[in-house]
Amino acid sequence: MSSNITLSAATRQNLLSLQDTASLTSTTQNRLATGKKVSSALDNPINFFTSQALNSRSGDLGSLLDGISNGVQTIQAANTGLTAIQKLTDQAKSITSQALATQINTTGTASTAYSAATASAAATDFYVNGEAKTATIASTDSIDQAITKLNNAAGSSIFSKDTTGTKLVMNASSDVEFKDPADQTQLGFAAGGAATADYYGTGNAKAGASTDLTVTGVETRKALAEQFNGILTQIDQLAKDASFNGVNLLSSSDATNKLSIQFNEKGTSSIDVQGVDATSTGLKLTSLNSDSSTSTVKGNRGNFLLDADIKATAKELSSASDTLRSKSSTFGSSLSVVQNRQDFSKNLINVLDTGAANLTNADLNEEAANSQALTTRQSLGISALSLANQAQQGVLQLLR
């Protein structure tokens, strides 16, 4: 069985006011505790779901930022590799300049006087910078006739006679070698060692060096050629090492070797950075162990022996430098685009987060002021309720 309690109008009004104050105090305290004025869809459906959508997009873009950051580093690694390869290419250019400046000479005087009686009608085989030459000297030829035939075969005046007029003298701005020791002795030069087979290619043997002849520049150029080949090896290794997070944009120009970077959460905005082949093969740089550029002979003739080979190599290096500059410019342009989108994404994330916060976050300064006002209001309400009950307290005194 229930009973009804009769309250005066003033008491009931003050009680309702205290209840409203308690409700507002609860709301204010919740906002101060959570920092949000919209904590659920019940508070404000439009603001709540709009804020969720903004936060969701912000999170998606934040996830993409990791991929964009990796993309920036990958392109920078490739660009750093190209810069280092360019330095190696410049070093190789310096080597070709040194090789071209290194003069090759073959000089000396025969230790034995030329004698027509010792000369046979057989061919005298020798090489000028690796190119085979043949002079057929008759047994009746004088030293002057022999010199004429030798120079005609050589294509230049590299043979002469000494002051006595009896011995052959060689003074050539090239590497002159004889095919066989017999070719040396029949001209009066001391015999060198046994012939080395296939020295200038198949069927092109070379006799050992004669003690009467001095060859300069050949070993220096050969050493420079070995340095050049070493640089090509370093270029290949550097191109393979210029990777980041398993992606190498310098290892191949194949269509599958590319870096794809997504810029938005829908996948409708992106960039593809195509890889390049920055190895010596991709730059079309030829090792000097290969055949001479002007002949099919191989071996030592390719080791910067010919000025034409050095100049051809220098031309390859100039072309490689142009290619590297072009590729570096392309990577630089792509890097600029990706960095611009990275900055844009960061700023957009900040805009989205700020917009979401404006819809749901509470103004803590305002809520703190509200809390103070509500506390004062609650105290006043309690005092008003006390005054409203004083009339009933007077009745109570009469009953006593």
Q: For 366-394, give the DSSP string.
A: HHHHHHHHHHHHHHHHHHHHHHHTHHHHH
From the number of C-beta atoms within 10 Å of its C-beta (0-12, 13-18, 19+), residue 207 rates as buried
For residues 218 and 304, is the Cβ–Cβ distance under 8 A? no
Q: State pLDDT tens for residues 344-358.
A: 999 998 998 888 877
Closest of 349, 348, 353 to residue 51, by C-alpha: 353
Comparing 83 with 392, the larger pLDDT belongs to 83
Q: What's the rounded mean pLDDT across residues 319-328?
A: 94
Of all residues in the chain, the percent with pLDDT exceeding 70 is 81
The upper half-sphere exposure of residue 45, i.e. CA atoms within 13 Å in the direction of its Cβ, equals 0
Q: State pLDDT tens for residues 288-318.
A: 865 555 444 455 667 888 888 899 899 999 9
Distances (CA, A) of 314 to 68, 92, 99, 318, 320: 40, 8, 11, 6, 10
**Distance between CA atoms of residues 298 and 301, nearest Å:** 6
For the record, the structure tokens of 244 come out as 């980041």
Q: State pLDDT tens for residues 221-258.
A: 989 999 999 999 999 999 999 999 889 999 888 888 89
